[in-house]
Amino acid sequence: MKQFLRLIATVCVAGLVCGFTAPKDDVEKRVEKLLAKMTLEEKIGQMNQLSYSREQPMVSAAKEGKVGSILNLVDPAVINRIQRAAVEESRLGIPVLFSRDVIHGFKTIFPIPLGLAASFDPAMVEAGARVAAEEATAAGIRWTFSPMLDIARDPRWGRVAEGSGEDPYLDSRMAEAMVRGYQTDNLADPTAMAACVKHFVGYGAAEGGRDYNSTNIPPTLMHNVYLPPFEAAVKAGAQTAMTSFNDNDGIPATGNRYMLRDVLRESWGFDGFVVTDWNSAGEMVVHGFAEDNKDAGRIALNAGVDMDMTTGAFINYIPELIEEGKVKMEDVDNAVRNILRVKFRLGLFENPYVEEGLTEKEFYAPDHLEIAKKSAEESVILLQNNNNVLPLKGVKRLVVAGPLADAPYDQLGTWIFDGDQKHTVTPLAALRDMYGKDVEIIYEPGVKYVRSNDTADIPAAVAATKSADAVVVFVGEEARLSGEAHSLANIDLLGAQSQLLAELKATGKPVVAVVMAGRPMTIGKDLANCDAMLYSFHPGTMGGPAIADLLFGKAVPSGKTPMSFLRVVGQVPLYYNHNMGGRPTNRPIRLLADLPVEQNQTSVGGTSNYLDVEHTPLFPFGYGLSYTTFEYSNIKLDKEVYGMNDVIRVEFDLANTGSYDATEVAQLYTRDLVGSVARPVRELKKFDRITLKAGETKHIVFEVPVSELAFYNSELVKAVEPGKFQLWVAGDSNSGKPLSFEVK
Ligand code: GLC
């Protein structure tokens, strides 16, 4: 298959070089030439996206030039039949762009994006996105609705699963990696898939962590935290953007002219096209922002939307709106230009069809599965390892328990439309297959499924554990409890899972908990009922082999938390890059338990803390243990005072002071001590995965241009403000000692 595609690619590229190389201006010429021939109906047809229902209506729409893109069709034969109608039977032969939510793999499923972010490995994420694109384009998909870039500070929101967590710098690096992986540097390559940065913008700040709810992000926070990952993705060449469902400060994103025209187009120079989210144009009526779908079409087009996903607001009403002078022909033309530009860049006019007769073998190619396994290994976070029970040593009888030990569907995580659980390798299967020769594996789930309160099987798991050397318990969330429209007010382990852990802990045998989830759950109380905990955001097809090798030390955990872990859900929102506030709590506090019965008003001090729970996270952003230990030393800056055009050069030694070869994600944070707006207590500015043999020390240099200290100030002007700064190099957002420097 890939040879065939490579052949097509070669022919295309050769063609491009010989006959129709498509440099920028050539594409523009072709766009203008085609646009000039189009009728108003044909123009509006390009702005219309339909979700696949049945073949016939799609063939008719394609023949009549009434559809520019179709989503949710992945059958190459049907795609080709619809495409033939568009290319060979419509008046102008404009190909349809077929699209799909390929969020973390197409057939070979990778860890959910939050897990990919935990790897802090953009190169690995890019490789995974490339695999996803090769598989999806082989099915005829040339446009994915990914990467999702919504900054998330609230684990109650189900869609934290789909993004890269709470930090704009990490999110930006992941965004660039996915765009590169999907699109390559040659969009006309038949295995290239247009990326779509979503959900533009601010969707992750839904009030109450309830999906689709309003957001209220003020301008400086929007520009300093929520927009940067989108800008990074646009600069990396993302060809499309998707408007989000939320209204921010009362303005639905699909009608937000400032974001779509001033920021996306004017400031960032975005020249792809903007699609709405599913019926988000129509939902402006529900928001109370549009009178009806016709009005929604007016608002969306005037705001800068180019393509309408499933509302029908453009196809049904633009002719009238033009007649009534409520929208401009120029805006219709520009929308169509943007769409045609991407179609020309993708080489669709030269190469509109997809090869049929694919076999699953090609989809689950061994190298694809290997990348998926490596991604899963790197995405797992070691949160606790008391008495170094991990990696398992000298274990001859191992009990495997828990509702997610053998859950092939749930292990894949949310948004796996095309993943097939038949191909999932679960931890139970992997442990039996990879370690069963030397270790007796005894499977006693104890709890049948995640939400079950049935404890009848727990005694069997307890009894088996008593006669074993250790027990590994797979708990967490079903896939369907995370993702779109799946917000939770309580994010503790559900059902009888915590009881299972407690009863297994009571046996006195070593207990290893492996949590598979779509979000950081509040697992604080469960830490007391296990010796070690590995946290694996739904790890995908190869999660089993990855976890099996981590349990037995063939692989060493290197994942770091991409979101802060809460002690209790009442702490939300809690994130590392918060402002200092005027009364930070920076000393031990007395909690309810040890407060005297009678006390005066000010006896507990006046700082920003709770009386009943520690105000700090259970685990901070960037946190993760290893089987070895690392030591940072000799951290030095090359200067004490930097000019605006300087590069900050930080040198340090990193030593592997333990007995396992391992990888550390070294992180560099800065703090701007005084600004024209209060600045966060820390901001991630660089990270790198550094692999060290046991006992090895490496001398590392990190460089950060002073320009990267810029932020949007109170006038919304992006600038570096001179003054005093602090800088940390550490293994998480809460460690290390600050160095000081100044910018003049
Ligand atoms: C959904 C999601 C969006 C997805 C789109 C198409 O509602 O919000 O992320 O890409 O519809 O499936």
Question: Active site includes 25?
Answer: no
In short, whether 101's Cβ falls inside 6 Å of ligand 1 is: yes
158: how many CB neighbours lie within 10 A of its CB? 24
pLDDT in tens, 147-200: 999 999 999 999 999 999 999 999 999 999 999 999 999 999 999 999 999 999
Domain 2-345 CATH class label: alpha beta
- Going by DSSP bridges, is the β-strand pair 662-672/683-692 parallel, antiparallel, or unpaired? antiparallel
pLDDT in tens, 520-571: 999 999 999 999 999 999 999 999 999 999 999 999 999 999 999 999 999 9
What is the DSSP-derived secondary structure letter of residue 89?
I
What is the model's pTM? 0.96
**Model confidence at 23, in pLDDT bands (50, 70, 90)?**
low
In short, whether 100's Cβ falls inside 6 Å of ligand 1 is: no
CB 495 within 8 A of CB 452: yes
The structural domains of the chain, with segments of one domain joined by +, span 2-345, 630-743
Is residue 510 classed exposed, middle or buried when 0-12, 13-18 and 19+ CB atoms within 10 A define those classes?
Answer: buried
In short, whether 642's Cβ falls inside 6 Å of ligand 1 is: no
Rg of the chain over all Cα atoms, to the nearest angstrom: 27
CA of 274 to the centre of ligand 1 (A): 14
E strand or H helix that includes residue 228: helix 228-235
**What b/e readout covers 684-708, taking b as 16+ CB neighbours within 10 angstroms?**
bbbbebbebeeeeeeebebebebeb
In short, whether 212's Cβ falls inside 6 Å of ligand 1 is: no
Quick one: what percent of the chain has pLDDT higher than 70?
Answer: 97
Half-sphere exposure (Cβ direction) of 654: Cα atoms closer than 13 Å = 25
pLDDT reported for residue 22:
55
Distance from the Cα of residue 140 to its chain's centroid = 24
Dist CA 537 CA 531 (whole Å): 20
pLDDT in tens, 236-272: 999 999 999 999 999 999 999 999 999 999 999 999 9
Strand locations in 428-498 (E):
440-443, 470-476
**What b/e readout covers 171-186, taking b as 16+ CB neighbours within 10 angstroms?**
bbbbbbbbbbbbbbee
- Average pLDDT in the 6-27 region? 53
Task: Name the one residue in this structure whose structure tokens are 């953009």.
Answer: 122
Please check the confidence at residue 423 and state whether its pLDDT lies above 50: yes
Please check the confidence at residue 18 and state whether its pLDDT lies above 70: no
pLDDT reported for residue 361:
67
CATH of domain 630-743: 2.60.40.10
The overall average pLDDT reported for the chain is 95
pLDDT in tens, 708-735: 999 999 899 999 999 999 999 999 999 9
CA of 149 to the centre of ligand 1 (A): 13
**Which residues share a beta bridge with 728?**
669
Tell the residue nearest (CA) to atom 11 of ligand 1: 278
Please check the confidence at residue 17 and state whether its pLDDT lies above 70: no
Tell the residue nearest (CA) to atom 10 of ligand 1: 145
- Average pLDDT in the 55-59 region? 98
CB 176 within 8 A of CB 169: no
pLDDT reported for residue 669:
99
Tell the residue nearest (CA) to atom 7 of ligand 1: 278
Q: Which of 154, 167, 277, 308 is catalytic?
A: 277
CA of 91 to the centre of ligand 1 (A): 31
Tell the residue nearest (CA) to atom 6 of ligand 1: 278
Residue 146 CA, closest ligand 1 atom number: 10
Cα-flanking dihedrals φ and ψ of residue 246, to 5°? -75, 155
**Model confidence at 598, in pLDDT bands (50, 70, 90)?**
confident
pLDDT in tens, 107-133: 999 999 999 999 999 999 999 999 999
- In this chain, the answer to whether the domains covering 2-345 and 630-743 adopt an identical fold is no
In short, whether 145's Cβ falls inside 6 Å of ligand 1 is: yes
